[in-house]
C-alpha cells in the first residue's frame, strides 16, 4: 500500500479512513522547505493545508508522488503546472468550507458595520466609548459581490435576509441566471461605484492579483466598506490603507493577507479595520468535512479511480450521463492495450446520447486503461495524456449523437485493431460488441482470448478442447461475425490467465490464423 505524508493538521476521521484502507500515514508537521524535500522522498501522496508550499523542487524530489491533496479550496501554495507536467494529480476539497466561509463573511460584515471588535477592545480596557463606535445598518444598503460562485451565492442569500440589495460582478454568470436570484450583474467599476459594501469571493489568479488597487479604489463610492475572506493579494493592502486614511473608503474587514502568517500590515494601524487570521474555514465542521473529503479524494487517486475534485484533469467533473461509462472506457483501453502493439495513433469515437456531452474524461479513462496495460509506471488521469505524448501516440476524439445499433457506443481504433463496447440493461452491464470489425457480444474480462480462424466447421470444438485440457474454464464465449456475415473469430472470457503454451498449441492448429491472449 501507499505511504501518505501529512504535513499539517488534518481531522483524525479522514486519516483513520486512509489507515483503514491499508495505507501508511506519516504525519510530520512544521517541516521547513528543506525538510519537506527530504520527507517527500518515497511518498506516494502528500496531504497539506495552506501553510505548506508545494514547489517545483518539492515535486521533483517526490519521484513516487501520485497525488497532492489540499484540505480546503485554495491552491495558490501548490505549483499545479509543475505537478501536471510530472503527472501528479492535484485534488482539493472545494465544498468543505463554503458554509463556514460564507458565515465568516457575514460575521465580518456585521462586525465592521457595528464596530464590534473596536468597542469590545475599548470596554475591556476600561473605556466606555458608546458615542465613538456608532455603526451603520445593513438594511437598504447595496452589497457588491465580486465572484458569484458557491460562497458568493451563499453570502448573497444571507445578505438579502438583512434587507440588502445585491449586485454582482462575475463574467462567468449570465444576467438571466443572476436575475433568477434577484441579483443584478454589472461590471466591476459599476459595482464599486454603486455599492455601500463589497465582498470578494474569487480565486487568486494572475488576473485577480491586485484586483482592488489605488486606481480602482479611487473610482469606488465614497465611504464604501470592503470585506475579503477569499485570498490575500487580491487587494493591494497599502493602497487600501491609504484609501481608508483619506476617508474615501469607510472601512474594511480582512481575513486573508498577501503574506501569511503575518503580524504586520499597514491595515493593522487603522481603527476602521477589522482583521482575523485566516479564519474563514476555521470551524470544527469545516475541518471535519475537509479531512473526510481529502482523504476520500486521495484514496480514489491512489486506487486509480475517478476523482471528482481533481483540479488538473481537463474534465474533472463527469456528468451523470457520462459517469457510468468511465469504467467501461477504462476497460476498453486496457483490453485494447492487450490486443494492439506498436500503435502510433488512437481514434476514439462516441455515438449516441453520450456524444452530446463532454466526453474528455472518458478519453482520459480510456488512456488510463490503455497505458496501465502496457506500462509499468503508475498511470492516472493526469499523466495518461503525457504518456501518449512521450510515446508519440496521437489521440483524436469524435462524437455524434446519432445512434445506430446501440443507444450509446464507445469505439477505439489503432493500428490494425478496433474495439467497441457499450452498457446494456437496467444494471448497465459492460459488453464488448465489436472486435476488429467483427460483431460480438461478450462481457470484458480480466483474461480473454481472441482467436481468428478459417470459417469452417469444427473450429469451436477444437479451441474449446485445447482450452479445457489446459484446465481453463470458459466463462463466456461468442463467435464474431465479419461484415460479410462469415464467422471467422472467437472471443472467449477465461477465468484464469492463459499460459503461453496454450496459445502456442492453438496457433499450431490448422485453420487458426492468430491467437491473442489479453
- Distance between CA 508 and CA 376 in Å, rounded? 31
Cell of 162: 438583512
Query: Which class for 269: exposed (0-12), middle (13-18), buried (19 or more C-beta within 10 A)?
Result: exposed
Which member of 231, 373, 413, 431 is catalytic?
Answer: 231
- Distance between CA 101 and CA 282 in Å, rounded? 8
- Distance between CA 183 and CA 247 in Å, rounded? 29
Which member of 104, 278, 413, 438 is catalytic?
Answer: 278
Cell of 392: 508519440
* 3-class SS of residue 275: strand
Tell me the β-bridge partners of 409.
Answer: 351
Cell of 208: 485577480
Q: At what angle do helices 284-302 and 98-114 cross, to 10 degrees?
A: 150
Q: For residue 261, say if its preceding peptide bond is cis, omega within 30 degrees of 0.
A: yes
Cell of 57: 523542487
- Distance between CA 176 and CA 184 in Å, rounded? 9
DSSP H or E run through 296: helix 284-302
What is the phi/psi pair of residue 439, to 5°? -75, 125
Which member of 260, 305, 347, 397 is catalytic?
Answer: 260
Cβ proximity of 254 and 273 under 8 Å: yes
How many CA atoms within 13 Å lie on the side-chain side of 249? 33
Q: How many angstroms separate the Cα of 183 from the Cα of each of 99, 107, 145, 231, 511?
A: 20, 21, 10, 24, 74
Contacts of residue 34, defined as CB under 8 A and 6 or more positions apart, other chains included, come to none
User: Catalytic annotation on 278?
Assistant: yes
* Nearest in space to 411 (alpha carbons), one of 426, 189, 210, 403: 403
- Distance between CA 463 and CA 128 in Å, rounded? 97
User: Catalytic annotation on 284?
Assistant: no
User: Catalytic annotation on 231?
Assistant: yes
Span between the terminal Cα atoms of the chain, in Å? 26
- Catalytically active residues, by annotation: 231, 260, 278
Amino acid at each position: 500500500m501507499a505511504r501518505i505524508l501529512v504535513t499539517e493538521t488534518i481531522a483524525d476521521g479522514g486519516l483513520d479512513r486512509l489507515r483503514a484502507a491499508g495505507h501508511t500515514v506519516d504525519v510530520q508537521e512544521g517541516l521547513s522547505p528543506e525538510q519537506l524535500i527530504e520527507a517527500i522522498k518515497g511518498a506516494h501522496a502528500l496531504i497539506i493545508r495552506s501553510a505548506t508550499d508545494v514547489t517545483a523542487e518539492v515535486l521533483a524530489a517526490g519521484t513516487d508522488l501520485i497525488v497532492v491533496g489540499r484540505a480546503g479550496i485554495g491552491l495558490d501554495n501548490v505549483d499545479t503546472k509543475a505537478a501536471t507536467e510530472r503527472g501528479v494529480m492535484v485534488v482539493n476539497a472545494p465544498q468543505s468550507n463554503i458554509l463556514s466561509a460564507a458565515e465568516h463573511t457575514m460575521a465580518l460584515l456585521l462586525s465592521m458595520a457595528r464596530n464590534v471588535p473596536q468597542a469590545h477592545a475599548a470596554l475591556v480596557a476600561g473605556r466606555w466609548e458608546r458615542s465613538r463606535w456608532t455603526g451603520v445598518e445593513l438594511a437598504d444598503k447595496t452589497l457588491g459581490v465580486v465572484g458569484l460562485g458557491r460562497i458568493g451565492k451563499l453570502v448573497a442569500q444571507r445578505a438579502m435576509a438583512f434587507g440588502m440589495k445585491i449586485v454582482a460582478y462575475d463574467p462567468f454568470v449570465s444576467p438571466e441566471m443572476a436575475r433568477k436570484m434577484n441579483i443584478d450583474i454589472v461590471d466591476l467599476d459599476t459595482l464599486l461605484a454603486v455599492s455601500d459594501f463589497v465582498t470578494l469571493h474569487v480565486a487568486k489568479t494572475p488576473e485577480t492579483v491586485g484586483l482592488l488597487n489605488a486606481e480602482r479604489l479611487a473610482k469606488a463610492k465614497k465611504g464604501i466598506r470592503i470585506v475579503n475572506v477569499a485570498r490575500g493579494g487580491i487587494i493591494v493592502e497599502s493602497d487600501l490603507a491609504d484609501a481608508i486614511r483619506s476617508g474615501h473608503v469607510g472601512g474594511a474587514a480582512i481575513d486573508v493577507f498577501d503574506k501569511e502568517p503575518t503580524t504586520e500590515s499597514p491595515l493593522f494601524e487603522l481603527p476602521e479595520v477589522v482583521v482575523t487570521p485566516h479564519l474563514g474555514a476555521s470551524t470544527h465542521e469545516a475541518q471535519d468535512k475537509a479531512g473526510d473529503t481529502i482523504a476520500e479524494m486521495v484514496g480514489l487517486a491512489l486506487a486509480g479511480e475517478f476523482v471528482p475534485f481533481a483540479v488538473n484533469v481537463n474534465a474533472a467533473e463527469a456528468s451523470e450521463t457520462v459517469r457510468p461509462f468511465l469504467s467501461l472506457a477504462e476497460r476498453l483501453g486496457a483490453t485494447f492495450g492487450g490486443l494492439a502493439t506498436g500503435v502510433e495513433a488512437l481514434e476514439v469515437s462516441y455515438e449516441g446520447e453520450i456524444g452530446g456531452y463532454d466526453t474528455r474524461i472518458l478519453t482520459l479513462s480510456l488512456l488510463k486503461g490503455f497505458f496501465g496495460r502496457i506500462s509499468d509506471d503508475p498511470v492516472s488521469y493526469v499523466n495518461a495524456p503525457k504518456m501518449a505524448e512521450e510515446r508519440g501516440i496521437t489521440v483524436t476524439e469524435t462524437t455524434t449523437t446519432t445512434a445506430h445499433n446501440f443507444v450509446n457506443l464507445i469505439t477505439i481504433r489503432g493500428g490494425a485493431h478496433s474495439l467497441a463496447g457499450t452498457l446494456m440493461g437496467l444494471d448497465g452491464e459492460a459488453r464488448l460488441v465489436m472486435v476488429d470489425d467483427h460483431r460480438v457480444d461478450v462481457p470484458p474480462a480480466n483474461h480473454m482470448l481472441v482467436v481468428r480462424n478459417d470459417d469452417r466447421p469444427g473450429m469451436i470444438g477444437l479451441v474449446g478442447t485445447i482450452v479445457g485440457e489446459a484446465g481453463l474454464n470458459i466463462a463466456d464465449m461468442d463467435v464474431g461475425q465479419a461484415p460479410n456475415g462469415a464467422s471467422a473469430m472467437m472471443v472467449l472470457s477465461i477465468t484464469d490467465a492463459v499460459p503461453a503454451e496454450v496459445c502456442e498449441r492453438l496457433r499450431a492448429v490448422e485453420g487458426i490464423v492468430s491467437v491473442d491472449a489479453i
